[in-house]
Amino acid sequence: MKFTEEHEWLLAEGELVTVGITEYASTQLGDIVFVELPEVGTKVSKEQEIVVIESVKAASDILAPLDGEIVEVNSSIVEDPSLVNTDPMGDAWFFKMKLNNKDDLNDLMSEEEYNKLIE
């Protein structure tokens, strides 16, 4: 797994990368009540706003972690946003994307580096 400073996790599986938010982020947001995901086929650029999350505390935008194309979205978190609170690093993934350049993953943080960030 790789991590961003915006509290996203990325898991590379072959040509695809699964993206979600970390447990730390879901805890900071509080109870999630709404998630809006991008459409499949959307081409995204790093740091482009692509997901909207609303919690009882605030609304937040999730940024694209890298350049690529959205190839799958997790509609179960749209139907039941509370999944983001109960399993943020498992079943509550947000989307899968095909990266323009898989080597860009090397620029992201390791789990150890991310844990130091949130200490």
Is residue 119 classed exposed, middle or buried when 0-12, 13-18 and 19+ CB atoms within 10 A define those classes? Answer: exposed
- Domain parsing of the chain, residue ranges: 2-110
CATH architecture assignment, domain 2-110:
Beta Barrel (2.40)
Render pLDDT for 48-97 as a digit per residue (tens, 0 to 9). 999 999 999 889 999 999 999 999 999 999 999 999 999 999 999 999 99
pTM: 0.94
Per-residue pLDDT of 14-30, as tens digits, reads 889 999 999 999 999 99
- Both tokens of residue 10? 């990325």
CA 42 to the chain's CA centroid = 15
